[in-house]
Structure 1
Amino acid sequence: MDIGDVREVTAGDCSDLYYLDTGMYETSGYGAVYILNDDRPAIVETGIGTNHDLILDALAELDIDPADVEVVTMTHIHLDHAGGAGFLAEACPNADICIPAAGASLLADPGKLVAGTKNAVGDQWQFYVEPKPIPEDRIVELEGGDAIDLGDHELRVHGAPGHAFHQVVFEDPANDAVFTGDAAGIWIPNREEIVETSPPSDFDLEQCLEDVELLAEIDPDVLLYTHFGPRYVGDDAERVLEEYATVLTEWVSAVETERAELDADEDVMAHFASATEKGEAWNEQKASAEAAMNVRGVIGYLDSRE
């Protein structure tokens, strides 16, 4: 799948659902945005902002007028998921911008969010664009237990704060699918591999494991990863999610072990950045930066635990 491509989600019994490769970080197969073409058309996830024109192109390809989009939403406000929201709010003037309540104010006035993102992603900031503030009268705040009615589909909101305190996941019962955000890890489809995500500053292992259990209880046939794409799991949902719980637990343990052996946290980050093999799937620059960022998140978690 190439950057800008739009594909119908055919996994399981999914209908009315499409996904786009946004070319996030100038990398194919890393950042997805989903479009539900229902009575109330919806965009789920918004990318980092630099790619919002691709989302509008995808709407055109699906014959959806931006003025007809009624919902723009995201699983959490990290800018790789929410950075395009302000641009889409302008382009889709009739859409509700549905944001997890815990982070809504940070998208209305994104200054603190931008500063935190720059601190977290380091050199990767070169791939971002300053997000546009979202007018408060356009924002609909989401809490766990809420549901967004789209017509034949609804998005049921479940809190999943392990990756970030403002994260939710969206259950789509009609498609027997869940938009996972980062609660189920990062799926690398061309390697059929699930890998960790543990960015600073809110990563909490125990809560992440609870979020994985939540997803297992929902027991969807299809996991819709932002990173990256749909994955049919059918009756194996529990096993697949247990696999991610193991990956995440072993990752934290590996960072903790390496940290005990090295003198400085910077050396721990450098060790994992140089040792990563994910460059084969993305590119070396992105893979190394991702590894270093994930190490920082684990270090912050370890320090808070102590």
Structure 2
Amino acid sequence: MNAGEFEPVSGVPDLYVHDTGMFDTDEYGSVYVYDAERPAVIDTGTGANREALFETIDEIGIGVDELAWIAPTHAHLDHAGGAGHLAARYPNAEVTVPERGVRHLVDPDRLVAGTKSAVREQWTYYDEPEPVPEERITGLADDDRIDLGDRELVVHGAPGHAPHHAVYHDPDAGVVFTADAAGIYVPEIDSVRQTTPPPQFDLDQCLRDIAMIADLEPEYLCFGHFGPREYDPDLLEEAKRAYVEWVEAVRAKREELDDDGAVVEHFEETSTDVEFWNPERARAEASLNARGVLAFLNRGETP
């Protein structure tokens, strides 16, 4: 897929995936549109390329008064940055996000400051988020349901990536919207990469989250980065290995260099992600992931 395009998710009726073109990179950021009885948008992108998403929703046939749900999986702005913009365009849609993310979408100032600190020069690819009106947002807890009329999404907390992170499960269709809980799926190489952003990445909890997804016995995994894939148990085992090996690599390099800045620079310069992403994105991803592991290790936790 290319930026701004959308297509049906094979094997799942009424579900579409939209490529946001996030960070000027094809096949990096996904938004899912469920054309159910009560239609939903799952995740929103950064908000920067929202007009293309509006066009996708229009082409699918969902009117501005018909969208029922805007459902970010967590408050990170690459997943929820467009929530306020969508709320303004779709007046009957309810915004729903895991409970710990509600305050960040109602008053995004602290989230914006934290995101700018984390993504640094990549902030140029974001848009200033619009606050979501408090009366239009609902917090979600474990086992809550998002009612799509002819189906429902079951909420499962997955806080290894961030405390306000959840996955959504459609048990009838066998779909799990994994967001960032199972890593980043790269279609070009049919493989999973880790995502370990600062400041709250937790390796042990992340591994439990992946095991939880496996226990749901899905038929399809819909990754926030990027796209849907038929479920294969080996893919989640690969994700576990990617996380463990990455944390160990950062830990070992810190022992060798004894300088966190040098560790980050090392992984920026040696990233192999240039094989499938543009060099700017690959370098930024390596920096973010290295700094997240260093924060994890600096809390006194061990791999």
TM-score of the pair, normalised by structure 1: 0.97
**2:273 is aligned with 1:273:** no
1:152 maps to 150
The one-character-per-residue Cα deviations of 1:247-277 (angstroms, maximum 9, x if unpaired) are 1001000000000011311111111111111
The one-character-per-residue Cα deviations of 1:48-68 (angstroms, maximum 9, x if unpaired) are 010111111001111111210
How do 1:10-159 residues align onto structure 2 when only pairs under 5 Å count?
A: 10=10, 13-159=11-157
**How high is the sequence identity, in percent, across the aligned residues?**
47
- Mapped to 1, the partners of 2:211 and 2:19 lie a distance apart of 28
Cα contact 1:152–1:174 (8 A) shared by 2:
no
Aligned residue identity for 2:218: P
The one-character-per-residue Cα deviations of 1:144-164 (angstroms, maximum 9, x if unpaired) are 110111022211000000000
**2:280 is aligned with 1:285:** yes
Tell me the secondary structure at the aligned position of residue 38 of structure 1: coil
| Structure 2: gaps (5+ residues) | none
Give the superposition deviation at 1:241: 1.1
Cα contact 1:45–1:72 (8 A) shared by 2:
yes
- Mapped to 2, the partners of 1:66 and 1:161 lie a distance apart of 33
Tell me the secondary structure at the aligned position of residue 251 of structure 1: helix
Cα contact 2:68–2:93 (8 A) shared by 1:
yes
- Mapped to 2, the partners of 1:130 and 1:74 lie a distance apart of 17
- Mapped to 2, the partners of 1:29 and 1:72 lie a distance apart of 22
Tell me the secondary structure at the aligned position of residue 39 of structure 1: coil
Tell me the secondary structure at the aligned position of residue 154 of structure 2: strand
Aligned residue identity for 1:248: Y
**2:240 is aligned with 1:215:** no
1:201 maps to 199
The one-character-per-residue Cα deviations of 1:182-203 (angstroms, maximum 9, x if unpaired) are 0000000011111010000110
Give the superposition deviation at 1:76: 0.5
Tell me the secondary structure at the aligned position of residue 17 of structure 2: strand
- Mapped to 1, the partners of 2:65 and 2:28 lie a distance apart of 28
| Structure 1: gaps (5+ residues) | none
1:305 maps to 300
- Mapped to 2, the partners of 1:281 and 1:15 lie a distance apart of 30
- Mapped to 1, the partners of 2:150 and 2:282 lie a distance apart of 39
1:5 maps to 5
Give the superposition deviation at 1:279: 1.6
Cα contact 1:56–1:66 (8 A) shared by 2:
no
1:264 maps to 259
Aligned residue identity for 1:171: H
Tell me the secondary structure at the aligned position of residue 305 of structure 1: coil
